[in-house]
C-alpha cells in the first residue's frame, strides 16, 4: 500500500510538472492589496501554488494525527491495565495525563 501511495504522488507531481512546462508564458500576478508582479513565468506561479496547497493539506492533517496518537496512548494504557488485572497483578500506579482523564475537545 505504501508503494501505491508513493507512485500516486509521483504521478500527480509529474502531471503537474508537465502541465507547468507547457505553460511558460509570462503573466502578471495581482495580490489583494493591488500589488502586482509583472512578467512572472506561469510555471513559477503554478509550482508555488502546488507547494503551498500541499503544505496546507499537510497542516490540516495535524489535528487528526494528534487525536489518533492520544487515543492510541490511552488504549495502550488501558490494555496494560487489563492485562495486569487478568494476570492477577496490581496495575502499575502511574499518573494519567490530563488528556486521559478529560479528553481535549476537538478544534
- pLDDT, tens digit (0-9, with 9 covering 90-100), for 10-26: 999 899 788 878 888 99
Residue-level pLDDT at 47: 80
> Is the pLDDT score of 96 beyond 70?
no
Number of domains in the chain: 1
Cβ count near 20 (within 10 Å): 18
In a domain, 93, yes or no: no
Short-list 51, 33, 29, 54, CA closest to 42: 29
Q: Which domain holds residue 73?
A: 2-86
Structural domain contains residue 97: no
pLDDT value of residue 107: 56
Task: Report if residue 92 sits inside a domain.
Answer: no
CB 70 within 8 A of CB 47: no
Give bridge partners of residue 29 from the DSSP assignment: 37
Residues 67-87 have a mean pLDDT of 92
Residue 39 forms part of a structural domain: yes
* Continuous segment of H or E residues that includes residue 75: helix 42-86
Amino acid at each position: 500500500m505504501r508503494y501505491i501511495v508513493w507512485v500516486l504522488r509521483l504521478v500527480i507531481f509529474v502531471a503537474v510538472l508537465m502541465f507547468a512546462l507547457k505553460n511558460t508564458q509570462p503573466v502578471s500576478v495581482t495580490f489583494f492589496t493591488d500589488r502586482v508582479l509583472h512578467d512572472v513565468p506561469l510555471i513559477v506561479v503554478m509550482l508555488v501554488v502546488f507547494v503551498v496547497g500541499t503544505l496546507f493539506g499537510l497542516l490540516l492533517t495535524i489535528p487528526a494525527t494528534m487525536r489518533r496518537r492520544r487515543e492510541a496512548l490511552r488504549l495502550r494504557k488501558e490494555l496494560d491495565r487489563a492485562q495486569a488485572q487478568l494476570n492477577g497483578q496490581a496495575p502499575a500506579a502511574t499518573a494519567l495525563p490530563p488528556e486521559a482523564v478529560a479528553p481535549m475537545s476537538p478544534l
